[in-house]
Amino acid sequence: MLGTAEAMTDERPPLTEASRPVLPRYARLHYDKVRQRHVLLVPERVLVPDDTAIEILQLCDGKRTIGDIVDLLAAKYVADRDLIGGDVIVMLEDLRGRDFLVVVEGD
């Protein structure tokens, strides 16, 4: 089990490298065999994440912190950690702003 997702409020603190993001039960990353791409299924919509976003979302398991995710990506792509970190947070904040991402409290 994933632990308790935080309540959705307007004044939630911003995501940090210590946050543990996870997709809520109603936002599902799904591999679409027919169109041969991953899609994110949400109420009444189908979002089409790009390859990087897919990779990030696959790492969001409610256990890894954003810091862990950034480490993994920085190592894999031999890229600047700060740059990746900023981008990851922007992408996840965007999803969280639409309630398609939550963070797990505690450890």
Partner 1 sequence: MDDILRDDPMDTLRLLDSTAPITHVDFGIPAAVLAEMTHRCPLQCPYCSNPVELERSSAELTTEEWKKVMTELAELGVLQFHFSGGEPTVRKDIVELVRHARAVGLYTNLITSAVMLTEAKVKELADAGLDHAQVSFQGAESGVADRIAGFKDAHKKKLQAAKWLKDAGLPLTVNAVMHRQNLHQLPDIIEMAVSLGASRLEVANVQYYGWALKNRAALMPTVEQLDATTKLVEESRERLKGKLVIDYVIPDYYAERPKKCMGGWGRQFFNISPSGKVLPCHAAESITGLEFDSVRGNKSIAWIWQNSDAFQKYRGTGWMPEPCKSCDFREIDWGGCRCQAFALTGDAGNTDPACHLSPLHDKIFKLAQTEAATDVREFKYRNYANATPKGGEAN
- Residues at the interface with partner 1 (CB under 8 A): 10, 24-26, 28, 30, 32-35, 39, 41, 43-50, 52-53, 84, 87, 90-91, 94-95, 97, 99
**Tokens coding 59:** 């790492």
CB of 106 to partner 1, least distance (A): 18
Radius of gyration of the chain (CA): 14
CA neighbor of 67 nearest in space, from 94, 92, 99? 92
CB of 28 to partner 1, least distance (A): 6
Our CB check for partner 1 shows the closer of 39 and 59 to be: 39
CA neighbor of 28 nearest in space, from 58, 73, 67? 58
